[in-house]
Amino acid sequence: MMDGAAIKELSDRLATPGQIGETGFIARPNTWVIDDPAALVKPGPTADALKAYSLGAVRDYLAANRDALELAKLVVHVVSPQIVRVLGPIQMRARNREMYVEATAQNLTDSFLGKWMAHDEFVIGLQTRFAVGGDMAAVLKLVGNLTAEQARTSVDDGMTQAVTVKSGIAFKADAVVPNPVSLVPFRTFREVLQPTSPFALRVHSTMQVGLFEADGGAWRLTAIEAIGVWLTQELVGLDVEVIA
């Protein structure tokens, strides 16, 4: 039979939270709850990512390292042709990465490709959203010859479109619309060479013109690779990993 002192000692043990062996778990007898110490510690707050709009800003941030980061633990991730992020190591408890910088490039073709538009809108868009090069001069010359007469598609095999003059909108002279045409849109960071891509150029009988992507998105891989090469060259000596 236990005496009063032994009963009191046992009661005190059961009433006080205590560690279970070497597991690290804590038993709370009064509530019949077992806590994992790791789960009790919440991850600390993270900094807001700096917003940038060029690759040069990413390079300058890492080169200056004003935040005294451990550069060897950072990752520069080329997410897409328009997004680059500087990420820290995986946080042990939250199991995520803190983001220090997010650089975003403007894609000037977002609202331009894949739709029909008026002749004047197309000409202006081609001159302001595309770099000089490829078949740009030829396309401008072709589209610039549209007049207020009716055009009728006499031959259209999907690769070429022959347009002849009738009543209404047409070309001033018979012309063949070449397909595909090679153009250089502004759709990634300006520090790298803009990828040249093929596009299907179509002319509608209502004097509307459309430009449609014809490479299945292959330009994205080209742009991501170019961004990765640029960053790797610019960050030489900083011991920062670039993933593209």
- For the chain, give every domain's residue range: 50-107+224-243, 116-215
Cα angle for residues 136, 179, 159 (degrees, 5° grid):
170
To the nearest 10°, the Cα dihedral for 119, 120, 123, 127?
A: -160
- The pLDDT score that the predictor gives to residue 23 is 52
Q: Which of 160, 144, 153, 142 is nearest to 206 (CA)?
A: 153
Residue 169 pLDDT > 70, yes or no? no
DSSP letter at 72 equals: G
**Range list of β-strands (E), the chain:** 18-19, 26-28, 33-35, 50-52, 75-80, 83-90, 97-104, 116-118, 130-131, 146-147, 151-156, 161-165, 170-171, 175-177, 181-185, 197-203, 208-213, 241-243
- The pLDDT score that the predictor gives to residue 151 is 46
Residue 7 pLDDT > 60, yes or no? no
- The pLDDT score that the predictor gives to residue 238 is 92
Q: Which fold is adopted by the domain 50-107+224-243?
A: 3.30.720
- The pLDDT score that the predictor gives to residue 167 is 39
Residue 60 pLDDT > 80, yes or no? yes
Band of pLDDT at residue 168, cut at 50, 70 and 90: very low
- pLDDT, average across residues 42-65: 90
- The pLDDT score that the predictor gives to residue 166 is 41
CB-based contacts of 238: which residues, under 8 Å, 6+ apart? 62, 63, 71
Per residue in 96-112, pLDDT (tens digit) is: 889 999 999 999 998 99
Provide the percentage of residues in the chain whose pLDDT is more than 90.
54
Per residue in 72-97, pLDDT (tens digit) is: 999 999 999 999 999 999 877 777 88
Per residue in 149-165, pLDDT (tens digit) is: 544 444 455 555 555 44
Residue with the larger pLDDT of the pair 55 and 90:
55
Of the given ranges (22-26, 163-167, 187-191, 215-219), which has the lowest mean pLDDT?
163-167
Residue 127 pLDDT > 90, yes or no? yes
